Every structure is written in C-alpha cells, then in structure tokens.
Amino acid sequence: MKKILVVFGTRPEAIKMAPLVKELKKTEEFTTKVCVTAQHREMLDQVLSFFKITPDYDLDLMKIDQSLNELSARILMAIDPVLSDFNPDLVLVHGDTSTSSMVALASFHKGIKIGHVEAGLRTYNKYAPFPEEINRQITGRVADIHFAPTQQSANNLLNEKVNEKDIFITGNTVIDALLWGIQHVNEGREDIKEIKQFIDVNKKVIVVTGHRRENFGDKFYEFCNALKQLATREDVQIIYPVHLNPNVQKVVYDTLGNHNNILLIAPLDYEAFIWLLNQSYLIITDSGGVQEEAPSLKKPVLVTRDVTERQEAVIEGTVKLVGTNQEKIIKEATILLDNIEVYSTMVSNKNPYGDGTACVQIVNVLKSI
C-alpha cells in the first residue's frame, strides 16, 4: 500500500488541500497522513475544523515576527523527523509557500518523491509575488509529479524542460473546496449573523481584501484612497476583512476608519468568508485564491496587483488587473457598478480553473502511477 504524506502550513494551502485529503482518505490503495507546519496557526486551524481534518503531525512553527529565513530553516529542521518516522512513498505539497518549497527540498534530500499541486503558475518576476514566485519555482524544480491547473501552467513547465509525462492538467482544487464549502456553510454562525446585521441590502456590496507585501507603503495608501472615494457613492457598501499584518492594519484603519459606507471587520474564517463573497456584487482583491474562486460564484474581480501568475482569468475576462493606481481602480469599479452589459459579460465568462473535479483527477493519476 502506497504511503502518502500531505503537508501544508497556511490557510490558502489548507483550503486547497483539504478536499484532496478527504478524497485520498476514501481511497483504500493509499495510507494517507497529514502534516501541518502551522506557518499560519489560528487561520489554519479554522480551515481544519471546517473540513473536519485532524493532522497526524503538527509542527506548530508559527512565531510572531519570524523572518522568512528563520521560518524556512525551522521548517527544514522540523520536517526531517516526520519524513523519517512515516517514510512516505510520496509527499504532496501545494503552491507557493515557504512550507511547500522547504518541505519539497527536504523530501528531495531524503530521496522521497514529490507531487506538486497547483504547479506551473508563473510571473517570471521574482519579486512579484514575493516570495511566492521563487517558492513555486523551487518546488517545481525538485517535484517529480506536477498537477497543473490549466494548459498555460502546463506550458510553463514544458518551457522549463519538465518532462511531459510528469505533467497532469487537473483544474484547481480550490474550486472543489469552494463548491463543497458553499454547500456546508452554516448561516446560523454568530459571525455570519453579525455581518448580516450590517449589510445594507439596498446597496451594491464590494468585498475587499488586501495584504500583499509588494503593495506595502505608498501603493497601499493609494489603494485605500481609491476605496475611500468609491465609498462616497450612495449605492455602494464596502466590506473589508482586514488582514492582521501591522503594515495593513495601520494604513487601513487610518485611511478608512469611521466611514459610513465602509465596514472594517476582523479576518474571517473560510466558511464565513465564502459566504460573504457570495453576497458581494463586486470583489477588489490582491488574493490569488479569490481570483480563482470568484468566477465560480459569478462575481467580477478587480485585482490590485501589477502582474498575476493567474493570467488565464485575465484572458478569459473573469478578472481584470488594475494594480494599486487610484484612478484605474475607481474607473474600472465605476464601469462595473454602472454598466450592466459589461458586468453581465464578465460574470458569464467560464471559470478557467475547473469544474470541481480536480481532486478526483489527482487521485486517479496517483492510482495509475
């Protein structure tokens, strides 16, 4: 029986790996164990609870204000005894985090095969997204099996001389997670009931997220000023779950606090967040996962990044890149708020990231090799 170790550490990884863990656990051909690094702690635990996943190994590496170098070193050290204890035939990692790249490197050092879920996304700008672009490239260099969400991702890998027989196009597991999650949302939760009290059903709700390192500083102030101007419209309500990073908190609360049409709230766990996305009219975000999720909810997305490794959504027309330029954010948001034809076209476009069967496809590949 093949032994598979699934390793993740952040909330986005947990969301995207949870449905795969559930699918693997149903499969008799595999002995599947889960290891979490807890690179994020509280946000990770919320996802595990929602999907009812209990880790077999919990490295508990979250530490306030640790540097990327410190975190990376601690992951390498902590994963080593786990790999020795379980001795898996295959380690599955996801995407572009420090957990993914360091666990892949540690597995490579021990001669263990690596499967990379959400492989092949690229901007080819090592500073955007930072440090995720290089994390993803490192993981891609040592991985043995590449589960690419789209043909474009597969093409990137082929251009990097990855063997075609090792690449499998499966769609993105985030769609599996979203579709399962929407069906299991409990609207009686206290946090959802509280948000419901403040949502103005007579207004167009704009859900906002923003946390990318490359946007900190003047660019983030410009982004917030754009939101402040949009909120002067009487037909708009902005709801912004504010990331806990101090670089985000100070700017957001200084710029957007005490505004009648802006509701600043604490970060939401996954269940409440996807419920909120489903209530929105428009989403403004720098998140990678939201670019993938929102088209399945038929919500248009303005992406406050200069480049995206998810170019398929831009090409398909389900998202639009606006950067942090105040004028451009206001212009594109205004078009979507006022022009129903443009809005309808954007939300009717096909989600390029799959139909919610990615996990089944990945498990079928693992059964066949």
Residues identified as active-site: 96, 118, 132, 211, 213, 243
Closest C-alpha among 162, 190, 163, 252 to residue 216: 252
Torsion region of 149: left, alpha or beta (phi above 0 gives left; psi -120 to 50 gives alpha): alpha
Report how far residue 200's alpha carbon sits from residue 177's, in angstroms, rounded to the nearest whole number.
Answer: 28
Distance separating alpha carbons of residues 198 and 145, to the nearest angstrom: 47
DSSP per-residue string spanning 249-314: HHHHHHHHTT-TTEEEEPPPPHHHHHHHHHH-SEEEE--HHHHHHGGGGT--EEE-SS--S-HHHH
Report residue 122: phi and psi, to 5°: -145, 145
Residue 78, CA distances (Å) to 37, 100, 174, 319, 359 in order: 8, 13, 27, 39, 28
Residue 39 has phi, psi (to 5 degrees) of -55, -40
Q: Is 198 helix (H, G, I), strand (E, B) or coil?
A: helix
Which H helix or E strand runs over 55?
none
Q: Which two tokens stand for residue 89?
A: 């035939």
Q: How far is CA 53 from CA 75, 106, 206, 212, in A?
A: 21, 24, 32, 28
In angstroms, the CA 285 to CA 240 distance is 10
Alpha-carbon span 51 to 280, nearest angstrom = 24
